[in-house]
Amino acid sequence: MNILLLGSGGREHALAWKMAQSPRCDKLWASPGNPGIAEHAECVELDAGDHDAVAEFCRANAIGLIVIGPEAPLVDGLADSLRGAGFAVFGPSKAAARLEGSKSFTKELCERAGIPTAKFVRCTSLEAGWGALKKFDPPFVLKADGLAAGKGVVIAETREEAQHALAEMFEGKFGPAGSEVVIEQFLTGEEASFFALTDGEAIVPLGSAQDHKRVGEGDTGPNTGGMGAYSPAPVLAPDLEARAMREIIEPTVKAMREEGYPYSGVLYAGLMLTPGGPQLIEYNARFGDPECQVLMMRLESDLVDLMLACAEGRLGEIERPALSGDFALTVVMAAEGYPDTPKKGGAIDLGEAEAQGAKVFHAGTKREGGALTANGGRVLNVTAQGTSASEAQRAAYAAVDAIDFPTGFCRRDIGQREVRRERG
């Protein structure tokens, strides 16, 4: 089968690497792809905003499955257009992708379906927001409603800070994403990410992970897209995972189906493990980046089989995904200046990084002639496996140390919380 993968990050490199291992994959195309993806796929430049052009490419190249990696084209309805043109697509429709594209949609769905999540108020004006703040105690959690590249959440310690942040949101700091704001109760606990595949009816768990959002060691400095991740997340113990499935994922998929916008694809739940049980922080309508990299390293099943079964509504008929019992851990190597203004063009020599079984996924690289250079904020995702978090951490950093990337940096403490727990 010919497959088209849309996207260009480390997440998509991990998906391409895994899909290319499937006996069902004859020819893999990627758009726009990156130099790492190009090792498994032929890269083409398609305009994901031009749905007809993507469909035309798929017709001309007899594409049997289209995999949409990032959220923006999903929220833009690309999956609907391609399904309408007769193609099998892995990824939710525009209406279903509102689980990521609109915080207020998700919060109201949770309310209707009785899904545990922080209490909230939806505000459509600054005045309403100021009024709503009175119903909450600090710290205040403010969220721009729409897609804001992971930057739309502000946690304010004081009422003044919250008022200031609200004003910035309504003045357009996050563009149209901030024309509506959700204010919610602050939850305490440890965070974990949980992934499930669904075709709208059947649901299968795909494992857990934890990521490290802050740029600096010890979780300091500004938020990023994620500086590293590991899987599984043992804090999401089997009983908590079962509760998350029963109390959060299953009622969500059921409500989406019953309300007329069945969700199909991967559902990524950001969970807060509170003393009272798991609560939903947010949904994403796609794989996490870099969580996908560690999940793909642990996935033993055929990814193409799973994605096609989701796309064709046959997920209940095939075997559940099998994941290795090992840990996988990924360290993000970013370009100096990330997350503000990452330095482009720095030389990269991967050396013998993959010699011991590690895998270096490309997130933001460019190949000019033979030379590999940095071309983004997050540049490389150095990923390794081990029988424990400590082993996976050691293997990942051994691979990091084999890479020569003078204008790059990474956190040296990815997975540290788990390593400390293992040491007791």
Decide which of ligand AMP, ligand GLY, none touches 205; Cβ closer than 5 to 8 Å per partner kind.
none
> Does residue 153 belong to the site contacting ligand AMP (CB under 6 A)?
yes
Q: What order of strands is seen across the sheet that includes strand 365-368?
A: 347-348, 371-374, 365-368
For ligand AMP, the closer CB: 22 or 224: 224
**Per DSSP, what are the bridge partners of residue 203?**
198
3-class secondary structure, 357: coil
Q: Which residue lies nearest ligand GLY, judged by its C-beta? A: 226
CB 284 within 8 A of CB 71: yes
Torsion of the alpha carbons at 11, 16, 19 and 23, rounded to the nearest 10: -170
Interacting residue ranges for ligand GLY, rule: CB under 6 A = 150, 211, 225-226, 284, 288-289, 291
Q: Quote the least distance from Cβ 351 to ligand GLY, whole Å.
A: 27
CA distances 379 to 65, 141, 223, 227, Å, are: 28, 30, 16, 11
Token output for 115? 């899904």
Helices 10-19 & 291-298 angle (0-180, nearest 10): 20
Segment near ligand AMP (CB under 6 A), from 5-13, 183-191, 195-203, 398-406? 183-191
> Looking at 205, 270, 277, 351, which residue binds ligand AMP (CB under 6 A)?
270
For ligand GLY, the closer CB: 150 or 277: 150
CA distances 165 to 161, 185, 290, Å, are: 6, 16, 28
Token output for 59? 């017709």
Decide which of ligand GLY, ligand AMP, none touches 116; Cβ closer than 5 to 8 Å per partner kind.
none
> Does residue 187 belong to the site contacting ligand AMP (CB under 6 A)?
yes
For ligand GLY, the closer CB: 225 or 408: 225
Neighbouring C-alpha atoms within 13 Å toward the C-beta of 270: 18
3-state secondary structure 152-188: CEEEECCHHHHHHHHHHHHCCCCHHHHCCEEEECCCC
- Count interface residues toward ligand AMP (CB under 6 A): 10
d(CA 356, CA 396): 10
Decide which of ligand AMP, ligand GLY, none touches 282; Cβ closer than 5 to 8 Å per partner kind.
ligand AMP
> Does residue 285 belong to the site contacting ligand AMP (CB under 6 A)?
no
For ligand GLY, the closer CB: 315 or 332: 332
Decide which of ligand GLY, ligand AMP, none touches 418; Cβ closer than 5 to 8 Å per partner kind.
none
Q: Quote the least distance from Cβ 131 to ligand AMP, whole Å.
A: 19
Q: Quote the least distance from Cβ 385 to ligand GLY, whole Å.
A: 19
> Does residue 118 belong to the site contacting ligand AMP (CB under 6 A)?
yes
> Does residue 235 belong to the site contacting ligand AMP (CB under 6 A)?
no
Segment near ligand AMP (CB under 6 A), from 34-42, 162-170, 180-188, 389-397? 180-188
**Per DSSP, what are the bridge partners of residue 373?**
347, 366
